[in-house]
Chains A and B, each alone.
Chain A
Amino acid sequence: MRSIFIGAVFLLFSLSACDNLQEAGLPGVEKVLTPEYGDTFIEASIGDASILLPVLASDSASSDINGLLYNGLVRYDKNLVPEGELAESWEISADNLTITFHLRKGVKWHDGAPFTSADVKFNYELYVDPKTPTAYAESFKQVTRVETPDPYTFVAHYEKPYAPALISWGMSVHPKHLLAGQEVTKSSLARKPIGTGPYKLADWQAGEKIVLEANPDYFEGQPYIKRVVYRIIPDISTQFLELQTGSLDFMGLAPLQFDRQTDTPAFRRLYNKFRYLNFGYTYLGYNLNRPLFQDKKVRQALAYAINKEELIEGVLLGYGAVATGPYKPDTWVHNADVPRYDYSPEKARELLQSAGWTDSDGDGVLDKDGRKFAFTIVTNQGNDLRSKTGEIIQRRFKDVGVEVKLRVIEWATFLKEFINPGNFDATILGWTGGPEPDQFNIWHSSKIGPRQLNFIGFKNAEVDQLLEEGRRVFPPQQRKAYYDRFQEILAEEQPYTFLYIPEALPAVSKRFRRVEPAPAGIRYNFTQWFVPAAEQKYSR
């Protein structure tokens, strides 16, 4: 069973990953080679792309490919600092209300038409048009007005300072000359995309493969790798078999494959393995509208009762890190000095007792006022890691006298019957994020409505204020103060028990050079990767 939308997907940009620890020898250590053009990079995708128009795409396969076909005005560099892409430079006004972008000159769309500020303006209008069914409009809705004083200058005005504003302009820019005056959902670009990116679409065989070809006119220079092929292989085991024969050049491995099945000489001869922390974490969220979870002591007790190291060992085979809050440990915004809840069933029992929960009838399950401490954890089907996590937690909760049932439910039903009506006790889910620390939509008390992201019903006046102010301040050092306090409150209140952050475990064929792990992962400089002529495998 697959799922491109396994659990909670929170696609900001297709940029991912951070902090690299490389497993095998660094390719960069050998003598420096001059890059050469040619060869094909083949990777597998579990699902076919659905649409190659970034404004409408919401699946990860489409986003990955769109990332090579289109550009934004800005992007994250290898250290996750915003840098110019289609914009050469930008200025932010002193009052933080206006961003002026100076666009690159001489950039061409794949069909040869010039790229200008009119495209950027059109693009903004496309995203905020109520008729466009896009999942990416929110940050552009903060914009009050845009201007294009000349073909290479674009100005965006905001009513209030909005810190995520700059990077929100990293959203893919669409060609005005091909989309203006049309209904975007009916555009032929969906299957024949025209972008400004380093690759162009060469062939798309539905359900089978997508082939991209290097764009010789790319504004940063033609990428060295001539072709990129996405083979659609929905099954991870099949992908792994293909990898072993050398017919794939890249695959994100499962912990089991990484740990136990790739330690052969044959595999090491062909591939380099990398590991680094993903942006994203798995959590146990409590429905705060349920009387059972309204006492902070109870939530803290449950946090003590869970052995997070054991979860990482058992579920991820050790390829992960303990989560203490919504940010991963190697980012500037992460606060390491928050209360931790290291595994301690004794403390859990003490806290539960002080909250009035005792085993008065001696049946092994705590009770209070004649009510047993029993609840159900729900999670979505198709994510094996989550159901395993649930099983281990169930066992640990039992140790402290809390009876838990686990229900695994198909995704659409899960949303409709459990999450949307708030009809659950606790849930195991995950969030995927990015370098931008704004968490307004997940934790602000205005977001507790139906189908919104604060579905556990977390309401905290101080957090509301911190989130509102945190997104109005630009310099990271100043923002950090707000988010540090925010993390402290979350750790104290434990509306979620933050569980773990899984690692990304990619394997890359050794033919490819300049694969240089950085905080941004390994794919950030893909256009710079190359294969020395003598090692090139595919001549056509």
Chain B
Amino acid sequence: MLRYLFKRLLTLIPLLFGITLISFMVIHLAPGEPTDIQTQMNPQAGTELQERLRIQYGLDQPLHVQYGKWLSQLVQLDFGESFATDRRPVFDKVVERLPVTMLLNVLSILLILAVSIPLGIASAVRRNSGFDRVTTMLVFAGFAMPSFWLALLLMDWFGVRLGLLPISGLKSLGYEYLSWSGQLFDRLAHLVLPVFVSALGGVAGFSRYMRSNMLEVVRQDYILTARAKGLSEKTVIYKHALRNALLPVITILGLSVPGLIGGSVIFETIFAIPGMGKLFYDGVMMRDYPLIMGILVMGAVLTLLGNLLADISYAIADPRIRHGQQEG
């Protein structure tokens, strides 16, 4: 097992290298340069500023030199400095935004799991019942609903009309003066709408997935055997069927690891949440190459690790895979 792990980790290195090379080339292929955006259409700027900035950013050098420089910084875990006018280290900019994004994503994944697993099982067990039909309909409605539209409606309803929840942001204005419990409550109140809206699409997809998994498993012979043994329906479903139906969930969870640091621009913009989505989007719009590359690399590392993690947990959870490997 350890050898397998080591081998897998080693193969990640060339993979990561390839990813950075391709990303670097692709973002430089996009037309436009950060220096254009910063200096153009400004009568006070003058054209020599453009050249000066290109030299300061190292954009005057050939692409392979730029890549080499960037890569040699990266292996020392230095993500470089942003091309934005503030020129702050990319790492600082990312770290500043990461906790909020991760908190939101973790909460939203937990909500998705908490809601969609029972929902999926229930619809599978009562397949084609009235309950199944209604949830199917609601789930598809949730899936189809544009999240920005729903967000605005909820903000208007709960924030403006009812005045129950804050509309946007992460904290109220007087947050610093609140008691410990007041602060916690304030934070939670700000999270209700964003978590709900961001989880909605996930619930829709995931409960469908859960339902079909469950249906698949219930058809298997061993479930028939369990029923034939005279086990109660409860035991059959929750002990025998559910465990097997949950296996593919591991893969999904593994794949959602890189999603933890990603955010949605639309969603963050509407709720005024300073998250990764907006950071990345603004970076792309400004052609802030070091920032874009930094976020891409972090995302790539997490994707690769997430996949690895999913494979390993799969092996631990599923004896078929574990044994198959030892034989092979």
**Interchain CB contact (< 8 A) of B86 among A11, A131, A190, A411:** A190
A234 with B285: in contact, given A11-B42, A185-B87, A413-B31 (CB under 8 Å)?
no
Is there contact, CB below 8 Å, between A133 and B56?
A: yes
- Find out whether the CB atom of A415 lies under 8 angstroms from the CB atom of B36: yes
A377 to chain B, nearest CB (A): 18
A529–B57 CA distance with the chains assembled, in angstroms: 43
Given contacts A2-B269, A50-B84, 16 further A-B contacts (CB under 8 A): A9-B41, A10-B42, A42-B173, A56-B85, A136-B44, A137-B46, A141-B46, A207-B96, A233-B168, A238-B270, A241-B159, A245-B160, A412-B30, A415-B32, A420-B36, A451-B50
Is there an interface contact between B47 and A449, defined as CB atoms closer than 8 Å?
A: yes
Cβ contact of A413, chosen from B32, B38, B44, B274, cutoff 8 A: B32
Contacts of B44 in A (CB 8 A): 11-12, 135-139
Given A237-B270, A412-B31, also A208-B170 (CB < 8 A): yes
Question: Which of the listed residues B38, B45, B47 has the most CB atoms from chain A within 10 Å of its own CB?
Answer: B45
A258 to chain B, nearest CB (A): 18
Interface size on A, residues (CB 8 A): 70
How many Cβ-Cβ contacts under 8 Å join chain A to chain B? Answer: 166
In the assembled complex, B187 has its CB within 8 A of some CB on chain A: no
Bound state CA distance, A452 and B46, in angstroms?
A: 8
Shortest Cβ gap from B244 to chain A (Å):
44
Which 7 residue pairs of A and B lie closest in terms of their CB atoms, listed nearest first? Answer: A207-B274, A412-B32, A441-B43, A8-B41, A135-B45, A233-B272, A416-B32
Q: B189 → chain A, closest Cβ, in Å?
A: 14
Q: Render A409-432 as a binary contact track against B, CB cut-off 8 A, 1 for contact.
A: 011110111011000000000000
Chain A residues in the interface with B (C-beta under 8 A): 2-3, 5, 7-12, 40, 42, 47-48, 50-51, 56-59, 62, 130-131, 133-139, 141, 185-186, 190-191, 206-209, 229, 231-235, 237-238, 241-242, 244-245, 247, 410-413, 415-417, 419-420, 440-442, 449-453, 538, 540
**B9 CB, nearest partner CB in chain A, Å:** 34
Does B37 sit within 8 A of A, measured CB to CB?
Answer: yes
Check if A233 sits within 8 Å of B156, measured CB to CB: no
Cβ proximity bits B44-87 to A, threshold 8 Å, 1 near / 0 not? 11111110110010000000000000000000000000001111
Residues of B in contact with A, size category: 35 or more
**Which single member of A5, A245, A417 contacts B37 (CB below 8 Å)?**
A5
Q: How far is the CA of A398 from the CA of B120 in the complex (A)?
A: 56
- Give the CA-CA distance A185 to B282 in the complex, in Å: 21
Give the Cβ gap from A180 to chain B, nearest Cβ, in Å.
20
Q: Report Cα–Cα, A59/B50, bound state, in Å.
A: 17
With A and B bound together, what is the CA distance between A540 and B97 in angstroms? 28
Is there contact, CB below 8 Å, between A416 and B33?
yes
The CA-CA distance from A138 to B45 in the complex, in Å, is: 6
Asked, given contacts A135-B45, A540-B177, whether A412 binds B285 with beta carbons under 8 Å apart, the answer is yes
